Structure formats: C-alpha cells, structure tokens
Structure 1
C-alpha cells in the first residue's frame, strides 16, 4: 500500500494547483484522473470552445460589415477549425503530466473510490493519504427520460468530425446558447428546448431578452415552457417529444445534445464509506473548504458545495486556498465577491454582482440604470445591432452593486465592473476616470 501526505482526485485546475503547490513544499503527493489530465476547461470546455468560436467571430463581424464596408462574407469550415482546436487539446495532457513528473508527483489514470476515511482504491491499488482533495469537476445531468442514451454531451459536440445538418439542444443554459450560436454560424439548423419560462435564469431578464432576440435572428428556434419527455430514433435521425402549454409536440434533428446542466461528479466515489457528507450540489465543506464530517478531506471546484459560481477561475482560487490550508493549517477562506461570468455567444453577455431581483430581496436601496444603446459608437462602428446594459447603484453610498451587459467586448468590460465592486468604487469614481477612447471600456462612465 502506497502512502501519501496528499492525494488529489481530479486533474483540472483546482487539483493541479493543490498537487503542484504541496509537492513544491516537499510533501509526497499523488494524483489520479480517469480522464486525460487537464480537466474540463482545458480539454472539453472553455478553451476548446473559445477556439471553435474564433471563426464565428470573424463571420459575425463580416456579416455586420456586409454591403457597408466589405463585399463578401468569408466561409468558415468546421473540419479545419476542429483540427486547429485539436492540436491545442492534444498537447495539453502530456504537458501537464510532464510537470507532475518534474515535481515528483505520482500519477495515476484510474477512477478512485473511498474505502475508509483515509484510504482510496485507485484501479486495483490501495493508497492511504493524510489529506485527500476531491476535485472531480462536474458531468452532464441525467435526463431520466426514455431514449436519453441518444442524447450526446457538450464534450461529444466539441469532437464532431463534421457538423450535423441539424441539432437540438435540451436545456436553455449557457452551454446550449454558446454551442447553438456556434453551430448556427457554421451552418447547422438549431433548436433549443427549455423547460422554464425564460432561458439563462441566473442572468438579468432585461439582458437575456436582448440575447433571446439576437438568437432568434440567427434562425435558432427557441422553445420555452416545454419539458422534453422522450427521444427516439427516426429515419437515421432523432425525434424529440416535448410537452408544453399547448400540449405535446415533436421535433426532429440529426443529433440531440444534452445541455440540461452539470451536477458535481462525486456520486461514484463511495463517499459514504469515508464519512463524507454530500448533497446534490457537492461535498459539504466548511469555510476552509474542508469536509464538514471528515477533516482529512477537502473539496474544491464544481465538486464542492459552496457559494461560488461553477467557473474555472473559482476552481483556481479554491485550489490555492486548499493548498494553503493543507500546508499551513486552516487560515484561508474563499472570497466570492464580484466574480464575473460570461456567456460567449455573439453578442457576448456578461454579468457581475447582484441582479435587480437579488438586490431587492436584500432590501437594498438602489437605483437602476438600463438602456439599449446600439446607437453608441462602440456598436455603430461595427454595425452591431445588439448593445445594452443594466447597472445597480446603491443610492446612499453610490457603490456599484451589479452590472449586466450584452454587446461588443462585454467579456472584457465586465472586468472593470468586477474591480469596482471588489474595491468599493462608486459611480462617481467611475464617471471621473480617464479611460482610453474610442474603446468599449470607455462606455462604463455612461452606464452608472
């Protein structure tokens, strides 16, 4: 039986940080992942997705300029884009493993299961560790409907050798919208079916309305208030049955994508054998990201039940905190203030801080600034028709409580608002800043 000071389950960003930091301080460390090293973001999510979105950004801009500044919209090619993406993805796991080996970290490529509070079974091998980190990320939610085996995941989508002629996404969250926009611009006919009254429920309704309008202008069929009840094969394609306010309907598509959310990937770890409390949102942890019931165990990233948004930067932060708490004792706590989040559609939608609904529930006294501003120079210069904002400003202090954007470079501009919320800038502070012009960032002075 091998013994370690620290053993890490999961080689995404959280696990990687903990393993390398602890090893650099002389601890004996082991790590395992049943999937290639790198985690969802680097291999199956954020990074490859953004690479595949690159050609669609060029096409979107060309569409905006067509007949005004250019005479032709370039064709974009799925297979060539996929090869470009795959070169990046394929290089990542061996690079990460080489780094582990350099730091003298033992590497495993097997699933892990707890057999006691300090012991794990890794494949056919038993290991024991003083501290264990669960950083297994998340995986697609089960649909629990007849024919759910026919629905593939977002990972499968990012590995299409050729793009199907038509796609149907089950679920109206950020994965569905990002991939639907991507597929539509690459030439696929797209349907999104969402069970709720509005999609992207965690984002501001006013801003989501702008994205919904832009999505429908892409000829993406967006169907709301509809529960998908079955999937079946149909003439070489798939037929999806859904039940909504007007009764039962059916749609057909060459491929069906399960984009109905991603719960934590912890339910196959036999956590109960290690006295680890957990729920639907992940491992129950205290303010130090330590298991509330087994002090030998920590959890970070999507595997932990915290107040953090399931985002890669949050997992990175939590990894640093867990490493510090293992090395120095429980002294560090995560700070989830002002974490921005982005939906990488075109146009891009971004948010940070409180929504209007959240601020109202907290009883805060605030004013709302909102507007659609396609006539502002930022949008006009590229002929972008979708540009809007909503900001929340506390009346007494003038502090920024929340910001919600859609439009050119929203994913960058939102970082200014995140900084303002984090350090307590007021609307006056932002209004009196000298910013580069012309730039998207300079618009913030008119948004508060």
Structure 2
C-alpha cells in the first residue's frame, strides 16, 4: 500500500472541515487541515454567529420601547455601533481559539496557509511545499456573489459588514434571500433607513408564500422600503462619500452603504480541482455522490462548496458522515429530508418540510391548518404585529408534511416541532397533545 504524509488532508477549516478532521483523527487517521484565513469558517467568523449576535442587539430597540408598557421607566436610549461591533468581534476571536483548541486536542495538524490540489493524492501549499495524502477533503465553503456593474467596488458584502467603522444612516441592500432580509431588519432596528432591492418581486424564494408575504407586510410597516424588478445600472461615489445608485425601473437613490446579498458562490477557483480531474457543475460547485466522493476516488467534498444545502448543520453532518464512512468503518449518508431552516428577520421565520405549494405539486390536494394571532407580549406592548403558524397535511391520513411559522421566537419553537414532522406524526398527534398555556408554542396544537 502506498504511504502518504497524511491519511487525510482537509482544505478549509469551516464547520464541515473541522468536524471531518476531528472525527477522522478520533478514528485513528493522521490528519492535517489547511486554512488560509481563520479557523471556524463562514458561520463562526463572518456568518451565522456574529449575525445572530447583531440580531440580539437589534431586538433591544423594540424591547426597550415595549418595556415602558410593562411599567419600566426606560429613558430614550442611544445606540453605540462600535461597542456592539467590537464585542461581537471579540466573541468571534474567542470562538476561533476554541476551534483551534478542539483540533489541537484531537491531534489534527493545522497549516495556516493556502492549499491547492495538484494531483489525486497531492496538495501544494502557498509556500511551495508539496504534501501527499491518502484522501483529500475539499471543505472550502462559498463566498458572497457581487453583481457586475460599474462601481460595484463601492459596495460591501456580508464579509465586511461586521467591520463597518460607523453605522450607515442610509443602507441599500441588494437581494431578497435570508441574508438580505436579516440585515434589513438589523439595520432598520439600529435606526438606519433601509431600502431593499431585488430583480424580481419575490422575497425568500423557497419559503411558504403566506409566511413570506406576512414578513413583507410587517417589514414595510416597520419602515423598510422595497424596490422590486430592479437591477443595478451603476454605483457612483459622490464627493461627500455617499453613493448614488442607479437601477432599472426606479429613480436614482443616494445612500451611505450598499450591501450585496445576492447569493453565494462555491470557493473552487484556482484550487486545481478541474486539473486534477474533479468534476465541477455550472456554478463551480464540486459534484459529489451520496458518499461525498467526487469524480476522483481519493477526493471528497462537503459543505457549501458542493452547493447542495448551504446550511452549517448540514455541512457538519456531511463532515461526520464522511469521516465515519471512510475512516470509521461505518458507512453513513446524510438524510436531506425535512431539514429545518430559519430566517432571523424581524420577526423571524422558521420552517420544516414541504410548503403548501410544494405539497400540492406532489400530492395534488392537501389540508392546511393555521393560527393567526397576536402574541400576548405584543398585545400589552400595543403592537399590532401578528404571528402566523401554518401546518400542511395530507388530506387522508393527516400526516404533517410541513410546518411554517413567523413570529417571536419561531426558530426556537420550531426545532422541537421539527422532530415531530421528521418522525411522520399526524395532525391528530398534535391535537392530542395538551397545550402548554399561556405560550406562543401552544398554537401548534390548537390550529384550525
């Protein structure tokens, strides 16, 4: 048997790469992982974690106002962006060190430089050093897409938004997916004037139509402007530092910051994959099978670089499955059915399973149950904002095909409910469960 420097060499120390590395090492493999930026990947360093911390910070804007209705003598409060930004970045630093410590404790060698594939069993580092490995795992993730238009260099992406020197007074956000809607809510709560533009008139494509329409309605009520059927014509920097944005079908707009949230592109550029015989799809993603293996027997890929499901928990499961299958003697595949997801907008959205539209396409007819209500806290706070819970079921057995929610704490509530949907429970099973009163979650077992 050929001898290699390592049993496994991982390129990319994000959620999927780190999990695969430490599990493979625990199975006895000699493992090295290369990371040219920081250990932790998009989620920990410049994605879900710091963004969720901003979401928490943004919630105080409404909570402080609501507190007065609950008897608290809260004065008008100012917001200091720099304090939140620096505290969030400090937490990111802590997590980065924790991830490094985890790899070290499992005996994984961390190589802090760029690595490219130079053969089925060979990696070349930026320093010029070549390394051999029995297996190579690509876990390089993805990066934000930037529209091609004159002046696009004046905009920023979700990578840079956490490092803004000051809070922009006027923000233009391009895109209508979860990143765009989350940052629209964050900046709006911080007091910025937010305008969201999109090429179509649909936000959050793939989420249930009623739920996303409710978010649009609430967002507009909160003061977020939406410009649909708008594509960039150009961005021009003005003498005062502001940005003049020209789009199709709308008047020009002056803002202080343009944030691109128009999708993500797999990080496969200049990695040497195609030259090594690895098949890539039209978007540059690594094409893999259920076993995470590419078209080259010794090269595998997990996470966003495969462009299957761009979610951190999915990347972690793929990394675990890869390591257990290849080094643990436990062939494992990931079940992509009924993956719960959330949008940490204001208010948040959460969903699992089929939307009403998807269920009708698959089953022909479905039964839909809803609960449209005002959370108790909103009632006393004198907020008219309404939550909406929706259950999609088969018409005969009542099996729950999908559960979709918008309202306070929806993601926290859905996680437990997703277990029931994944287990194939029925509407009757929900109905037979005693309500936990008074709570928002009790609406799950009271839908009509």
Please say if 1:105 is aligned against 2:108.
Answer: yes
CA separation in 2, counterparts of 1:116 and 1:239?
A: 48
Contact 1:351 1:404 in 2 (8 A): yes
Contact 2:69 2:380 in 1 (8 A): no
CA separation in 2, counterparts of 1:317 and 1:41?
A: 15
Partner of 1:406: 406
CA separation in 2, counterparts of 1:446 and 1:274?
A: 57
CA separation in 1, counterparts of 2:148 and 2:57?
A: 35
Partner of 1:178: 182
RMSD of aligned residue pairs (Cα, Å)? 2.0
Contact 1:338 1:419 in 2 (8 A): no
CA separation in 1, counterparts of 2:215 and 2:45?
A: 27
Say if 1:12 and 1:382 are closer, same or farther in 2 by CA, change over 3 A.
Answer: farther
Partner of 1:126: 130
Moved more, 417-426 or 54-63: 54-63
Q: How far off is 1:437 after superposition?
A: 2.0
Moved more, 255-264 or 381-390: 381-390
CA separation in 2, counterparts of 1:176 and 1:80?
A: 23
Moved more, 428-437 or 95-104: 95-104
The TM-score with structure 1 as length reference comes to 0.93
Say if 1:68 and 1:102 are closer, same or farther in 2 by CA, change over 3 A.
Answer: closer
5+ residue gaps, structure 1: none
Where 2:246 maps in the other structure, the secondary structure is strand
1:254-287 deviation line (CA, Å, top 9, x unaligned): 1111111112112231211111111116211111
Q: How far off is 1:50 after superposition?
A: 1.2
Q: Quick one: which of 7, 12, 21 aligns to 1:19?
A: 21
Contact 1:31 1:105 in 2 (8 A): yes
1:36-51 paired onto structure 2 within 5 Å:
36-51=38-53
Q: How far off is 1:382 after superposition?
A: 5.1
Partner of 1:351: 351
1:378-397 deviation line (CA, Å, top 9, x unaligned): 65355451311222011111
Contact 1:114 1:120 in 2 (8 A): yes
Say if 1:404 and 1:209 are closer, same or farther in 2 by CA, change over 3 A.
Answer: same
Contact 1:61 1:382 in 2 (8 A): no
CA separation in 1, counterparts of 2:393 and 2:416?
A: 15
CA separation in 2, counterparts of 1:435 and 1:317?
A: 33
Moved more, 91-100 or 254-263: 91-100
Say if 1:377 and 1:255 are closer, same or farther in 2 by CA, change over 3 A.
Answer: closer
Where 2:58 maps in the other structure, the secondary structure is helix
Q: How far off is 1:358 after superposition?
A: 1.1
Partner of 1:202: 206
Partner of 2:237: 233
Q: How far off is 1:422 after superposition?
A: 0.8
Q: How far off is 1:77 after superposition?
A: 2.3
How many residues in Structure 1 have an aligned counterpart in Structure 2?
Answer: 441
CA separation in 1, counterparts of 2:388 and 2:284?
A: 33
Partner of 1:219: 223
CA separation in 2, counterparts of 1:337 and 1:406?
A: 21
1:362-416 deviation line (CA, Å, top 9, x unaligned): 1343111235322x54653554513112220111111111111111110112123
5+ residue gaps, structure 2: none
Contact 1:288 1:330 in 2 (8 A): no
Contact 1:379 1:407 in 2 (8 A): no
Please say if 1:242 is aligned against 2:244.
Answer: no
The TM-score with structure 2 as length reference comes to 0.93
CA separation in 1, counterparts of 2:4 and 2:110?
A: 12
CA separation in 1, counterparts of 2:379 and 2:395?
A: 32
Q: How far off is 1:145 after superposition?
A: 1.5
Q: How far off is 1:133 after superposition?
A: 0.9
Q: Quick one: which of 274, 277, 292 aligns to 2:276?
A: 274
Contact 2:403 2:421 in 1 (8 A): no
Q: Quick one: which of 152, 156, 162 aligns to 2:156?
A: 152
1:381-396 paired onto structure 2 within 5 Å:
383-384=382-383, 385-396=385-396
Q: How far off is 1:100 after superposition?
A: 2.2
Where 1:7 maps in the other structure, the secondary structure is strand
